[in-house]
Every structure is written in C-alpha cells, then in structure tokens.
Amino acid sequence: MKNLLAGLVVATLATAAHAMEDRFWDYYTPYPSNYIGSDQWWAGDAASGDWWGTRNWLDENHGVEFSFTYVNNLAGNPTGGLSQGFTYTDNIAFGTKLDLEKLIGWRGGTFTIAATDRNGNSLSRDYIGNQFTVQQVYGGQTIILTDLHLTQKFWNEKAEVKAGRFSSGDDFASSPLYWLYMNNGIDGNPQALPVNASFSAYPWASWAARLRVDPCPEWNAMAGIYQVSNKTFNRELHGVNFSFEENDGVMILGQIGWTPEFFKRPVTRAAADSASTAKAAIAPGDGRVTFDDDAETTTSAESGMRGLPGHYWFGGYYSSWSYAQFGTAGTAANAYGFYWHADQMVFQEDPGSSQGLTLWTAFVLSPQENIAKVPFQWNCGAAYQGLLPRRDLDTTMFGLAYGSFSDDYGNAGDAYNGDPVSYEMALEWGYRVQLSNFLYVQPNIQYIVQPGGTGSIPDAFVLGMQIGVTF
C-alpha cells in the first residue's frame, strides 16, 4: 500500500511539474509580435510589441493599459522672418489607464494618470516672430503632470463624469483632424482660445470636472468647470501644485455636438478591414498619450449601413478672473467667447471606409478686444486618407489659420516695433507617411503671412518634419 501511495504521489508531482513546465514555457515563449523586424511585429500597434504577452494580459484580464509616445518637430526657415535658423523640439508622453471594473469590480469607472516631457527650442520665437507657432510640441519645455483624473459612466453608458486634473482642451474644441497638423494655430485646439483666455490646452492641466451626455447616437452635450490660476501655466511647478488660492477663478465651458452620417450605403468587407486600422491614421500629432477608446474610428461592417460621417459642434466659455487690459493698469473681471467647428467627409472610396476626402472649418470669436489678443480666428483645411495607390493609411492634408489682432493690443504698442497690427495667416501642406500602425514620418511646408501681424517682418517660408512613434 505504501509503495502504491508513493507511486501515486510521485506520478502526481511529475504530472503537476510537467503541467507547470508547459504553462511556464507557454507563458514566456515570445509572441511573434515581439521579434523586431518580423511582419507580425511591424503590423502591431506598438514599437515595443506585446511584451511577450504581458501587455495584452494586463489589459484584457486586469484592465491595466500603458501608453508611451514620442513626437519630434524639425523646422527651419530658409527665407523670411526675423532671421534664418533651424530648431528641434520634441514631446515624450507616458501614462497609464486603469479599467476599474476589470481591476476591482467598480463598474463604469476608469482612472488615468499621464505626464509629458518636452525639450527643444521654438523656431517661431527665436527666428520668425509669429503668433501661430510652427511647432506644435513647443510649450512647457519640462516634465509636467498632464492627467490625473477619474471617469465614471452611467445611464447605460450614455453619460460620463470626469473629475480630477486635466486640460479643458482635452474635451472641448478638439478634433482628431487637428492632430494631423504641425502648426500650433491648428493642432490641438484653435490657438485663440488659450491666447485670449485661460483655456488650458495640452500639456497644461488644472482641477476640473466635466459632464458628457450622449442621449442618442447623433447628438451629444458637454459642460465643464475648470480652475483658473497663474499656477496652471508655470512650468517650474511641473503641474503638481494642487493648491487653491483666494484669487483663483473658474472657467465654465459648454458644447453641443452633432455627428450625422449622410448617404448611407451597405458596408463592404474591404471597407470594414480598412476601418479596423483607422486609428493609426489619426494618431495625435502632439504626442499626447492615447488609449484604445480615445480616438474615434470607423466602425466595422456589423453596422450594416454606413455613410459620409460629419462632426459639428458649437461651444462657448465664460471665465471669472482678473484679466489684464491692453495699454492700461486696469483689469477686466471676466472673459467670454464662442467657437464653432464643422467637418464633413465629402468623398468616400468605399462605404464605411476611412479612406477619402474630408473638409473642415472652425472659428473662434472673443469680442472683448481690450483683453483678447486675437479676437477672431478662422481655420479651415482638407485631409485625404489613402490618396496614393497602396498607401491606404497615409494622409495628405492642407490647413489654413487666420487670426485678426485686437486694435487695443496694437494701440498698446506691444506688437513688433510697436507697429500697428492687422492679421497673421499660416498655411500648411503636409503628407503623413504611415510606415506602420505605430510609426509615421510627416514632411510639411508652411508659409507664414505677416508674422506678428504688423507687416514689418518678411513673410516666412518654413520647411518642417515631424516623426511620431507609439511604444
């Protein structure tokens, strides 16, 4: 009997050891996506691969998702501007999102923390002297905490509350189309918003709360309240000064959006396959961290019928704070303004496909010329994904940013040489070569008309390049 029991014990241990060995080697055998240079790795979503299955395991089983991106902007002005020069600037962003339902059973909750590290110098500041800066990753050249917030979905996921520290530009007056551009007059948010008021744009964050409601597929509404403080844009504080002070103000934002689809047709399988990789083509150009559900993509053939997508929204802001008035020692007790955006796909290669031509336009109106440097800004552009044969994820784009300067600003003598100001315009042409889902190279040409708005600085011709990598 003892021999029988001993044999059973030995056999059981041997079987368990064999099973453990199998599981061990199955777990630690590198997935094909982790072999640098392989087709599987090159077709993946991240340059660092799947970490031998760990990355996908953490995301799918525990709701822990990591993001790490790098974007640089190279630019030089061979002609025009104050003088000729060349500069380099970059943005390194890293963050983590926790799906609290998968992690601890908290239904509908997510927690996000992210930071950015910016380096380099501005071509516009050092060599051109223009308002719409030609490199969108310049601003806040240090390590900054950009996100620390909790989101909670409710009402059958038709409503979401977001609270913590984040930028108003993360949710308001922002479109994936803006991310395609290198000029900061377009990328991220129309530049008149942060210039005229304390509208916080990436990478700057403040205490905030935002409510979004999607009562039906085509309509949405948002409202948010944000802390206004001198501390927000102080890079020496690195975004980790969480204090409130007596002279802090608030900014209230509201926005209503409409997302229709016109001329719906049955979705083809080819279009569905194309749509599955659409996220790569609209990866943020400013290098901010992205997670699976952050970028809007075309849905699959499961929807049956798809049309030409459009996005339209109207919003406004009101800020209670002391804003310095041009040319006087006085201050204004508040600031307010309005903005509008419209984009519409006008040509689609196949129903449901992301390939085709999209036209867009936007404007910002800030009527208080005593405190608003650029009281009116108008942007427009066009983007075609997949223009060249067999380059379905590449994007060709054109953009224009026009801003009229405040007479009060000009009369105060703050412009270049104290000359009168009128307007500045920036034009950009670019072609984003999507080498893989995680890597793009984007050469571009910019032409700056009336840098600084005075006409005293020669128009500038700018040659640029941006490279983006998701790790």
- Give percent above pLDDT 70 in the chain: 87
Q: Give the pTM.
A: 0.89
Predicted confidence (pLDDT) at residue 16 exceeds the cutoff of 90: no
Residue 295 binned pLDDT confidence (cut-offs 50, 70, 90): low
Residues 101-138 have pLDDT tens digits of 999 999 999 999 999 999 999 999 999 999 999 999 99
Report, as an integer, the average pLDDT of 227-254: 95
Report, as an integer, the average pLDDT of 236-260: 96
The Cα–Cα gap between 343 and 181 comes to 15
Residues 333-358 have pLDDT tens digits of 999 999 999 999 999 999 989 999 99
- Summary mean pLDDT of the chain: 88
Domain 63-470 listed as CATH 2.40.160.180: yes
Predicted confidence (pLDDT) at residue 41 exceeds the cutoff of 90: no
DSSP-assigned letters across all residues of 362-408? EEEE---TTT-SSSEEEEEEEEEET-STT-TT-EEEEEEEEEEPPHH
Tokens in use for 386?
Answer: 């997949």
Residues 422-458 have pLDDT tens digits of 999 999 999 999 999 999 999 999 999 999 999 999 9
Question: What number of CA atoms fall less than 13 Å from residue 117's CA on the CB side?
Answer: 6
Q: What integer pLDDT is reported at residue 272 of this predicted model?
A: 61
Number of helical H runs and strand E runs in the chain = 9, 17
Residue 42 binned pLDDT confidence (cut-offs 50, 70, 90): confident
Cis amide leading into 203 (omega within 30):
yes
Residue 290 binned pLDDT confidence (cut-offs 50, 70, 90): confident
The Cα–Cα gap between 47 and 469 comes to 7
- Assess contact for 250 and 334: CB atoms under 8 A: no
Predicted confidence (pLDDT) at residue 13 exceeds the cutoff of 80: no
The Cα–Cα gap between 117 and 203 comes to 9
- Assess contact for 111 and 138: CB atoms under 8 A: no
Q: What integer pLDDT is reported at residue 99 of this predicted model?
A: 97
Q: Dihedral through CA 103, CA 104, CA 109, CA 111, nearest 10?
A: -60
The Cα–Cα gap between 41 and 35 comes to 6
Report, as an integer, the average pLDDT of 172-178: 96
Of 41-55, 115-129, 290-304, 398-412, minimum mean pLDDT range? 290-304
Residue 388 binned pLDDT confidence (cut-offs 50, 70, 90): very high
Residue 289 binned pLDDT confidence (cut-offs 50, 70, 90): confident
Q: Between residues 438 and 288, which one has the greater pLDDT?
A: 438
Q: Between residues 29 and 315, which one has the greater pLDDT?
A: 315
Residue 44 binned pLDDT confidence (cut-offs 50, 70, 90): confident
The Cα–Cα gap between 357 and 60 comes to 35
Of 8-22, 90-104, 454-468, minimum mean pLDDT range? 8-22
